Chain A
Amino acid sequence: MADSPGEPSELEILLPRDLAAASTRLILTRWAAGALVILATLASQRMLGVVLPAGGLYLTGLAILMYNTVLSVLAHRAPAADPAVTLARLRRLVVLQVGLDWLCMAVFLHLTGGITSPGIVFLLIHMLMVTILLPGVSSYLYVALGVGGLLVLALLEASQTVPHFTLLPSLPEGLYRDPLFIISEIVFFAAAAFATVTLASGIMTQLQRRERQISALFQTTRAVSSSLSLSEVLDQLTRNAALALGTTHSSIRLLDETGERLRLVASYGLSPSYQQKGPVEVSHNPLAQEALSGRPALVDETADDTRLQYARQVLDEGIHSLVVVPIVGRSGPLGILRVYADQPRRFTDADAQFVMAIARQGAVAIENAMAHETLQSADTERAQFVRSVTHELRSPVGGAQTLLRVLLKQMSGELNPTQQDIIHRVETRLDSLMALINDLLALAATTTRGFQDKPEPVALVPEVRGAVEQRAAEALEKNISLSFTSPQGDPWVRAGHEGLAHILGNLIGNAVKYTPDGGRVIVRLETRGASAIVSVADTGIGIPEDELPRLWQEFFRASNARKSGIVGTGLGLSIVKRRVEAYGGMISVHSRVGEGTTFIVALPLIAAPES
């Protein structure tokens, strides 16, 4: 059998919490036990008139209460960062509790009549509790120790090494020394203890198994909703299926396009050579056929089963039993999930049904992840398409623009004024066509994966200052006062350089463009709370109030901007808004016709990188 992966699973990390809860229950019960010893002694003495070593019993009760106080303090310590340390600490605490309990129990039994004590039944209860706390082999050890301890106590009293206290006067004199009584008492007690512990630990193991399965199903459900990566989903599924059935080996095979071959897509705990055992073809694999028809297939002993396609490899891998279930998607079977075990007859029909449940959840996750991957590749194709279209559109327009510019500059001979005017008009039309192509590309870039620039930490002051400086010449030409106010500090945000330059260039460019000669454009950068705020305020033509809500729509231009004769595509602001939002920011505008417009961009601040 191949080595199983060694990292601790989430299931194992869950255990300390269970142990802690059980340990707390034991401590709570002990308060009652301590109080009961004291009260029962009091009642027997005062109300029933029983003669008993009351002093010793009171002390025993008090001792129980005292060490329980200490245990309770220890149990409330904060868990360590490493779950393994916490688990070890809890185990030690449980052993300490049991040890102290044995001691008090021995004293209590001794004071209440030794082997003839009616309190012997409490010993049984304590064993039961320990079994529930620590199911498995260790509980038998406790039973053996308990029975041994009881025998030692009986022998010590019988041999008069320690005194004997008779609790019930009605018992025959010397009963505690009667060998037959001692033997029968010990044998019956031991039989009862072993039977109780066996039953209890069986129930506990079963419970733990159920818990494991519920946890695996829960994790599978979580995987369905949390991951869109196909390989992650498949890895989770194989792992959960194996853990749920308490084995360490599983695999998933999915049908390929032909619907005939089953391709290994994920495995857990299988050796590389077994993973490469060969192609699994549905027509040659009776187990796969059975599973793909919708029913789970069980193999109790691989050595005797004729349905195996790779019988020798299965035995070489040390696999003795396995369960195969279908993974059925919305449109039909997707593949099969197998769980392997190194013992024969390891899986029951209930196990198979359980893996079916996991596979059903898994099918949803697999289909989602597959759909997501298809979308992603479609996105990549779209990006490629946009790139080609852009190139194909830009090069002829660019060629024509360049030729016209050469013509206008009279580099190919003189032009008369009418010719110049015509060429200038054509050039203007081509310029706006080129602007439209560039804006369309920018718009596509905001929604197409592979085009979006990668956000990284950016210092805002130099970016904003650079964007302002880029428009300085244009502002000067129009006699517009363009100012930039920067804050005291050094605000950083997470954004793409290209996108940020586009946002700032567009807003400041618009402000200069739509502000009449002699106006003002004020660019202000400040920090407010957790945001960096860039505001661009102008004394321009403004935007009619009823048109403000449509300002961010593609191709929308305010009516007064349209009439102004200023060239624009109506795409700029919608691109700006998408980009700002892509960086986790918000953009807002207020404006008054004839007075001016202010755009405000808020971006989340980040800490400046150290270097």
Chain B
Amino acid sequence: MAHILIIDDDPDMVLAARLCLESGGHTVDSAGGPADGLKQIKAKRPDLIVLDVMMDSATAGFQFALRLRGPSPDPDLASFGTIPILMLTAIHSTTPLRFGPDDAYLPVDDFIDKPFEPEALLKKVNALIKS
């Protein structure tokens, strides 16, 4: 049982993730972009964030993660730096680029490729919440 925030500008993706996570017994909130996402993080302090990479810009998700958990996070966000982030990306299946979690450049805990398998999403979310 955890409270999860999904940040993604694709409402279908949000709905799919929400249904999937709720069926796993979690409560879910969603935000359609980084600004709304920040507001909700401050208001509700989720246990985990599912974060899309490509939103209003191709790297909006990366920048968001850096603001929250990078080497020099925003002062008013510092207390939220411990929230685990699961990054939702289509980059792995469309480009030869490969990402791995990296504290300095990509401070996220895990990745999942879009379109995702519902069970795989649940498995990753549960694993991150447990740790």
Contact = CB atoms under 8 A, between A and B. Distances in A.
Contact of A398 (B17, B114, B118, B119): B114
B20 A406 contact: yes
Interface string B92-119: 0110100000000000000000111111
A402 B114 contact: yes
Given A395-B114, A411-B23, A412-B19, 9 more contacts: A391-B54, A395-B10, A400-B12, A402-B115, A405-B115, A405-B117, A409-B118, A411-B19, A412-B23
B78 interface: no
A264 to B, nearest CB: 38
Contacts of B19: 406, 411-412
B96 A498 contact: yes
B129 interface: no
Contact of B15 (A397, A398, A403, A497): A403
A387 B54 CA distance: 13
Given A402-B114, A409-B118, A453 B96 contact: yes
B113 to A, nearest CB: 9
Interface in B1-45: 10, 12-13, 15-17, 19-20, 22-23
A390 interface: yes
16 contacts: A387-B94, A394-B93, A394-B94, A398-B13, A399-B12, A399-B16, A402-B17, A402-B114, A402-B118, A409-B23, A412-B19, A434-B115, A438-B93, A438-B94, A441-B94, A497-B96
Interface in A398-446: 398-403, 405-406, 409, 411-412, 434, 438, 441
A397 B116 CA distance: 12
B13 A399 contact: yes
A398 B20 contact: no
Interface of B: 10, 12-13, 15-17, 19-20, 22-23, 54, 90, 93-94, 96, 114-119
Contacts of B119: 409
A496 B96 CA distance: 9
Contact of B10 (A390, A399, A406, A411): A399
Interface string A497-509: 1100000000000
- Interface majority SS on B: helix, strand, loop or mixed? helix
Contact of B90 (A395, A403, A405, A497): A395
A401 B118 contact: no
Contacts of B116: 402
A181 B20 CA distance: 124
A220 B101 CA distance: 54
Interface of A: 387, 390-391, 394-403, 405-406, 409, 411-412, 434, 438, 441, 453, 496-498
A544 B115 CA distance: 36
B33 to A, nearest CB: 15
A467 to B, nearest CB: 16
Contacts of B118: 402, 405-406, 409, 411
Among A390, A400, A412, residue most surrounded by chain B Cβ atoms (within 10 Å)? A412
B94 A398 contact: no
B20 A390 contact: no
Contacts of B13: 398-399, 402
A524 B13 CA distance: 42
Nearest to B22: A411
Nearest to B54: A391
B16 A402 contact: yes
A397 B17 CA distance: 15
A560 to B, nearest CB: 30
Nearest to A403: B16
A404 to B, nearest CB: 9
A402 B94 contact: no
Contacts of A411: 19-20, 22-23, 118
Contact of B94 (A391, A405, A496): A391
Nearest to A395: B10
Contacts of A438: 93-94
Contacts of A397: 115
A394 B113 CA distance: 12
Contacts of A406: 16, 19-20, 118
B90 A402 contact: no
B24 to A, nearest CB: 8
A394 B13 CA distance: 12
B117 to A, nearest CB: 6
A401 to B, nearest CB: 4
Q: List 5 tightest A-B contacts by C-beta distance, closest first.
A: A399-B12, A411-B23, A398-B115, A498-B96, A402-B16
Nearest to A499: B96
B7 to A, nearest CB: 16
Contact of B16 (A391, A405, A434): A405
Nearest to B18: A406
B109 to A, nearest CB: 21
A400 B94 CA distance: 18
Nearest to B9: A395
A444 to B, nearest CB: 11
Nearest to B10: A399
B63 to A, nearest CB: 18
Contacts of A441: 94
Among A398, A400, A401, residue most surrounded by chain B Cβ atoms (within 10 Å)? A398
Contact of A401 (B10, B22, B23, B115): B115
A159 B85 CA distance: 113
A509 to B, nearest CB: 15
Among B54, B96, B119, residue most surrounded by chain A Cβ atoms (within 10 Å)? B96
A109 B92 CA distance: 92
A396 B93 CA distance: 15
Nearest to A399: B12
A503 B87 CA distance: 28
